Chains A and B, each alone.
Chain A
Amino acid sequence: MNSTTEQAPALPEARRVPGPPGGHASGSGPKKRKRNKVPQQSFRSRLRRDKQMLLMMLPGVAFLLLFFYIPILGNVIAFQDYQPYLGIGDSLWVGWQNFVDLFGNPDFIHAFWNTLYLAAWQLVFLFPVPLVLALIVDSLISTRVRRIFQSIAYLPHFLSWVLVIAFFQQMLGGAGFVNNLLRDWGMEPIPFMTNPETFPVMVVVQMIWKDAGWAMIIFLAALASIDASLYEAAAADGAGRWRRMWHITLPGLRPVIVLLLILRIGDILSVGFEQFILQRDAVGAGAAEVLDTFTYYTGVVGGGWSSGAAAGLAKGVVSALLIYGANKLAHRFGEDGIFAKQVR
């Protein structure tokens, strides 16, 4: 992002009064300020100038501290034998013991591999669906059809997972609509919702149902930002439908695809927590146990606070590394990725 060019130019710098009440309006970095020779105000006068703005930041900062940064520090209990009645201060430190135990625990190893397995399913089968849908919708000529389809496709994104699973059970469950029909026709009911072997398929179908339409939006926006004259020029040069897609559409979508892939990779270990916890009873822990549900059942339900925290921490660190690595890779390929080199 090029911050300086995008922002409103604000006041001409010369009109700015040094000292309070100086302008907050200019978003220029220190570099620009130097060029315009406006002296840097002292810390104290800036503090006075920004008093009210700092007050405004306070609730948000308090939130971040209370529900984000302090809990991050709370992860130290992963290195303790945490006992609730002793608290963090008095619990025994055990070093890496919790992690050693964890990686010797077959349940954890199972949850870990199962997470990766389900994530692979999602990456391969879930990721392309919104792209294909967006290409189809973008090629529609009738605005009305587009509108209608978009209104329908976006809706499930706003339904809770509880509702989505309830819908799926009513449709495909053992006593559901489809199986009722099958019984009426004298066929064997199919256990869509409770068969551990087909569970990955079910998970992907549910995710497509809920979010594929919504994920289309960003592709549609990217498609709309491709210069239409490129298509026209290519067509004039004799490029057919598929060549135009290969040489214009896909390169035009590349930044978005890379960005979404990185986000997906960073998210890969959180395969869909609510979705699994809602269905774990129906399909059993064998198929639906992932790292997050393991953390929940070990820590909160089972009271193994320290090993739960260790599992959560391991997952968080691996996710952060993955997202960082994917971003580096994107930079290597000349894309911006999610974190451009500078944040304004």
Chain B
Amino acid sequence: MATTLFTRKPRELSYNPKRPVWKEKPSALYQTVKAVVLIVFSLSILTPILLVVSTSLADTEQLVEAGGFVLWPERPTLEAYATIFKGPMVLQSLGVSMLVTAVGTILALFVTITMAYATSRTVLFGRPVILAVLFTLLFAPGLIPSFLMIRQLGLLDSLWSLILPGIFGAFNFVVMRSFFMNIPGELIESARIDGANDWQILLRIVMPLSKAVIAVVGLFYAVGFWNSFFNALLYINDHSKWPIQLLLRNFVVQGSGAADQLGITTTPPPQSIQMAVVVVALLPILMVYPFLQKHFAKGVITGAVKG
């Protein structure tokens, strides 16, 4: 897709710590505006997260005193978590989400790697297949036909309906393929002369060289599977097969939406329990985020430059 987006290779993203001599010193006003924008934006992101985590850890007494929310738990307790894990719902939906994420990511990596490797070399039908993938970026089949397809396959109310539609993404394909294309052909050629077949080349040569990009694309898929809620809304009726996101939507978003409309101040389930569910859905993302953050920018830029 993005083709001559950057004519030159982006220069190193680390910056010279010193201001270049030709650059004038910014005015105090400009500096202040910049600082305010950055600080406000950062706080707007951090505050809700802090609020939710703190509220989930606060004890009842402090919650009542504060009227529902706290920014810092004075006597942190895990009571709320103990409560939500007592019932079967949260554990079940966590299990569903984990299963879908694990199986989905492995399948997605398999499909994407094989497809990207095959099309990264000159190969029969290579170009029509690439075009077929790129076309998916332009047009979507639509909600109803996709739904009918899943129903036709008999996947309604089956966890496969959450996995299969997500096992291939055009963007991830482009990133992966552009990485594979940069692996020197000599390497592959020499392996072939030594008698390796295409599968062996992929497994022994290409994949070990691409660990970083495979990890990043894998994480992208994993985050996608973990976060997806709409497929579950469409295809899953059975409560015991709800993923965590759908549970969150039905207990927290819709629950307090109703409270909003009624204008009541105290929602029936105590705040900390709702917040604990939020944290449970949030935690895995927070845990993989440092890793994602380290690598994804590179991945995104590779995709855009080479695509």
Contacts and interface: CB of A to CB of B under 8 A. Distances in A.
Contacts of A166: 52, 248, 252-253, 278
A225 B122 contact: no
A26 B185 contact: yes
Interface string A33-68: 000000000010011011011101101110110111
Contacts of B183: 8
Given A7-B181, A60-B168, A217-B301, A72 B118 contact: no
B139 A320 contact: yes
A332 interface: no
Given A163-B282, A300-B234, A64 B143 contact: no
Contact of B265 (A2, A183, A222, A323): A183
A38 to B, nearest CB: 12
A200 interface: no
Contacts of B189: 10-11, 23, 25
Given A183-B265, A299-B144, A143 B15 contact: yes
B140 A225 contact: no
A255 B301 CA distance: 15
B124 A54 contact: yes
A218 B122 CA distance: 30
Contacts of A140: 34
B117 interface: yes
A187 interface: no
Contacts of A71: 141-142, 145-146, 148-149
A116 to B, nearest CB: 19
Contact of B115 (A57, A224, A308): A57
A320 B138 contact: yes
Contacts of B185: 8-11, 23, 25-27
B62 interface: no
Contacts of B117: 56
A101 interface: no
Interface in B96-129: 110-112, 114-115, 117-119, 121-125, 127, 129
Interface string B294-307: 00110011001111
A69 B131 CA distance: 13
A9 to B, nearest CB: 8
B68 A175 contact: yes
A158 B11 contact: no
Contacts of B133: 60, 64
A339 B134 CA distance: 9
A154 B248 contact: no
A329 interface: no
B45 A156 contact: yes
Contacts of B263: 174
A125 interface: no
B223 interface: yes
A79 interface: no
Contacts of B68: 175, 177, 180
Contact of A160 (B17, B228, B300, B301): B228
A129 to B, nearest CB: 9
B245 interface: yes
A59 B112 CA distance: 9
Interface in A294-321: 295-296, 299-300, 305, 308-309, 312-313, 315-316, 319-320
A249 B121 CA distance: 37
A67 B165 CA distance: 6
A323 B138 contact: yes
Given A71-B141, A167-B48, A57 B125 contact: yes
Contacts of A132: 37
A158 B289 contact: yes
Given A71-B142, A232-B22, A159 B227 contact: yes
A256 B2 CA distance: 9
Given A57-B114, A159-B285, A173-B260, A225 B10 contact: yes
Interface string B223-254: 10011111001100000000001101100111
B204 interface: no
Interface string B150-189: 0001000000000011011000010000000111111011
A218 B143 contact: no
B11 to A, nearest CB: 5
A139 interface: yes
Interface string A130-165: 001100110111110110011111111011111101
Contacts of A61: 115, 129, 132
A209 interface: yes
Given A221-B304, A235-B22, A167 B67 contact: no
A24 interface: yes
B29 interface: no
Contacts of B228: 160
Contacts of B267: 175
Contacts of A232: 20, 22
A171 interface: yes
A60 B149 CA distance: 17
A295 B129 contact: no
Per CB-CB distance, the 4 closest pairs between chain A and chain B, nearest first, are A25-B185, A60-B115, A74-B145, A312-B142
14 contacts: A7-B181, A23-B189, A28-B122, A52-B198, A56-B199, A149-B42, A162-B229, A166-B52, A175-B264, A232-B20, A300-B143, A312-B143, A338-B1, A343-B131
Given A49-B124, A152-B45, A162-B281, 18 more contacts: A1-B3, A27-B122, A27-B185, A71-B142, A72-B142, A149-B41, A162-B246, A166-B252, A171-B51, A173-B260, A217-B301, A266-B138, A273-B230, A312-B142, A320-B138, A336-B4, A338-B2, A344-B130
